[in-house]
């Protein structure tokens, strides 16, 4: 977030001269909470919570800019087959499995004919506390029946790099099985909690049967290969940073993606030219 905050002037300048409109590829966006006027958002969740009006502004911005909103399956197929065709695409994702994703965001998406991919913490399903309310089995089934897709965000959102090897295995395998039992489909995508990972965790994820894993990073994606399928970047949407969010969607921060690319490559020990 620090990089985004201090680079705001550069992003605005690029946007003013139309440079941000030149990006091509798939931009994966990461949302968390979408709230309404009557909702009370705990301070701990405010950095990743936006009002539904801002969410709607994003959706109409896609239409105005000619950006295609596509499903996770289509996004991955386009990238694997190198079929960007000089176009701009957005794939909308949500993390954690908050109930407001289903109650607030999903009806808006359906009305506009858009889909989304939901990374669920299986251990949070159906939980209702003072801090958060999470989707349960019925909501997840409804999402899938109505065109949404599901991925894993672990069992209960630990920082995987601080867990014992066997605990990481439990987190990724238990979540996968629980979600597959619910939707009766293969779960092959995973989002690292807090975007924390290393080579050992990637090896565990691969062995568990996941094929695509997502981190938090800048920029859009132009290809997916064996080198980067476990470190696919998503642009995270921040609460209270409306200008930053809009510029990110427009591509205003893509110039700084080398920083994200270098971090990802360093953790996975791969060549920068192959990361994404």
Domains contained in the chain, CATH given: 25-83+96-194+210-225+237-267 (3.20.20.370)
Report the predicted TM-score, pTM, of the whole model to 2 decimal places. 0.89
Query: What DSSP string runs through 216-268?
Result: E-SS-B----TTTTT-EEEEEPPTT-HHHHHHHHHTTTGGGHHHHHHHHHHHH
Per-residue pLDDT of the chain (276 residues), as tens digits, is 455 555 555 545 555 545 445 789 999 999 999 999 988 888 889 999 999 999 999 999 999 999 999 999 999 999 999 888 889 999 999 999 999 999 999 999 999 999 999 999 999 999 987 678 999 999 999 999 999 999 999 999 999 999 999 999 999 999 999 999 999 999 999 999 999 999 999 999 999 999 999 999 999 999 999 889 999 999 999 999 999 999 999 998 888 776 656 655 555 554 444 444
């Amino acid at each position: 977030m620090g990089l985004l905050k201090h680079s705001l002037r550069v992003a605005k300048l690029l946007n003013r001269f139309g440079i941000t409109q030149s990006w091509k590829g798939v931009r994966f966006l990461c949302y968390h909470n979408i709230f309404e006027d009557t909702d009370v958002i705990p301070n701990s969740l405010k950095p990743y919570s936006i009002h539904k009006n801002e969410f709607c502004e994003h959706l109409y911005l896609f239409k105005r800019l000619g950006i295609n909103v596509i499903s996770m399956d289509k996004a991955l197929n386009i990238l694997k087959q190198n079929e960007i065709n000089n176009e701009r695409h957005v794939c909308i994702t949500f993390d954690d499995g908050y109930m407001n994703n289903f109650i607030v965001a999903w009806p808006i998406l359906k009305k506009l004919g858009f889909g989304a991919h939901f990374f669920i913490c299986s251990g949070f399903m159906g939980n209702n506390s003072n801090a958060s309310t999470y989707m349960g089995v019925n909501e997840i089934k409804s999402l899938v029946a109505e065109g949404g897709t599901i991925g894993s965000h672990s069992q209960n959102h630990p920082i995987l790099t601080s867990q014992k090897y066997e605990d990481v295995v439990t987190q990724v395998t238990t979540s996968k099985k629980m979600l597959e039992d619910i939707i009766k489909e293969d779960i092959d995508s995973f989002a690292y909690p807090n975007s924390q990972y290393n080579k050992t965790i990637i090896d565990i994820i691969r062995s568990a049967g996941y094929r695509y894993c997502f981190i938090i990073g800048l920029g859009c994606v132009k290809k997916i290969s064996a080198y980067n399928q476990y470190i696919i970047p998503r642009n995270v949407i921040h609460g209270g940073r409306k200008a930053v969010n809009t510029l990110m969607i427009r591509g205003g921060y893509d110039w700084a993606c080398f920083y994200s690319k270098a971090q990802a490559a360093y953790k996975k020990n791969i060549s920068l030219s192959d990361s994404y």
